[in-house]
Amino acid sequence: MTQDIRAGAGDRLELLAAAPPAVEYPHPVLFLHGAFTGAWCWAEHFLGYFAARGFSCYALSFRGHGASRGRESLMSSGIQDYVEDVFEAVNRIGRPPVLIGHSMGGFVAQKYIDDAPVPGVALLAPVPPQGLFASQLQLVFSNPTLFAELNSLLSRGRASPEAMQKALVSGLVDAEKLSEWFRHTQPESQRAIWDMTLFALPWSWRQNRTPLLWLAAEDDALMPLEQMRIGAGMLGTTAEVMPGLGHAMMLDTGWQTVADRLIIWLRGLK
């Protein structure tokens, strides 16, 4: 089911919602997507899976993404704009949710908890609090071809399916399914990328005590395990490594392992 968050006539953010047959968990769950994508990435597996297990679930498309407003002004949108979108979504939901953020969405979640309390935050292969610079530099030297393809995606909204597969998932995902996902791929705000590289790093690592789960992907070409471990340490936790998975762990063939780990953690929150 799709719900709209309205801030005025013709001005909306896309919010996908999945209601459980019976609510068995006290907190709603809000999923935040990564760069170049939208809320649809959570609808593929996670929304239905979590709802069937008693969770009230929502997935937000940041402005300029998916079916949300602002596509024409995407390139001027920064991370703080996406944080404001989360505030708008939380207002629509009506109570503070647990945030589950992937990649850029994990970075947005870190920024959000600088300003607002939530019952918990789960970060899936997130942009770490130290930013993107070290991860990008490592990619330049380890896989310059993939780095060039990702720059093409950033500037032109296009990259080869082969490059996207190497960047996002294991080699086990069906080619037809990959093609379907890649049709949803879209440009990302260069301002947001720069924010995550240098200009808008979160302060939450200094004093925030929000319950936190950090999941890293063993075969992640974009977020090296070394950077995941450093970032998790800055937030006072450790990065749990999900074996055999690529960066887009909620879409990869082992997505259910990730979902089940999240559910165990969610049920342990107060």
Q: What is the rounded average pLDDT for all residues in the chain?
A: 88
Give residue 264's pLDDT: 98
Q: Do 89 and 58 form a contact (C-beta atoms < 8 A)?
A: yes
Chain-centre distance for alpha carbon 155: 20
Tell me the C-alpha distance between 178 and 173, whole Å. 7
Q: Which of 121-125, 143-147, 182-186, 264-268 has the lowest mean pLDDT?
A: 143-147
Lowest mean pLDDT among 11-15, 96-100, 213-217, 228-232: 11-15
Domains held by the chain: number: 1
* Locus of tokens 């936190």: 212
Domain extent, residue 185, equals 2-267
* SS3 label, residue 185: coil
This prediction has a pTM of 0.92
pLDDT of 10 > 60? The answer is no
What is the mean predicted confidence (pLDDT) over 35-45?
96
For residue 193, what is the domain's CATH number? Answer: 3.40.50.1820
Strands 29-32 and 57-60: parallel
| Chain length of the chain | 270
